[in-house]
Amino acid sequence: MYVVTIDTETCGGCGECVSTCPGQIFELVESKAQVKDDSEECLGCQSCVIVCSSQCITLEEY
Ligand code: SF4
Ligand code: SF4
């Protein structure tokens, strides 16, 4: 499984991860991305890591 971590200090709230993720894992709350509480499992596609210009998304595989 994959664990997605967002650095909210550097997140600029652009929403690119929200619109890119095929698993619809992200949402914007007060202009910061966060992983939804009821999110589906991350597919590990790396799209969010690539699309985030602030490089604040980290993907770890367990
Ligand atoms: S790796 Fe893919 S499925 Fe997982 S959170 Fe990022 S965009 Fe979504
Ligand atoms: S793509 Fe990066 S900067 Fe943009 S909302 Fe998502 S985590 Fe924040």
Q: What is the pLDDT of residue 30?
A: 96
C-beta separation of 6 from 57 below 8 A: yes
Please give the number of the atom of ligand 2 that sits closest to the Cα of 16: 1
Question: According to the model, what pLDDT value does residue 55 have?
Answer: 96
| CB-ligand 1 contact for 18 (6 Å cutoff) | no
What is the predicted pLDDT for the residue at 37? 86
Domains of the chain plus CATH, in order, are: 2-61 (3.30.70.20)
Tell me the per-residue pLDDT of 4-56, one tens digit each, with 9 for 90 and over.
999 999 999 999 999 999 999 999 999 999 999 887 789 999 999 999 999 99
Return d(Cα 8, Cα 11) in angstroms, integer.
5
Taking the whole predicted model, whether its pTM rises above 0.85 is answered as: yes
Mutate-to-test residue for ligand 1 from 5, 18, 27, 48, highest number of ligand atoms within 8 A of CB: 48
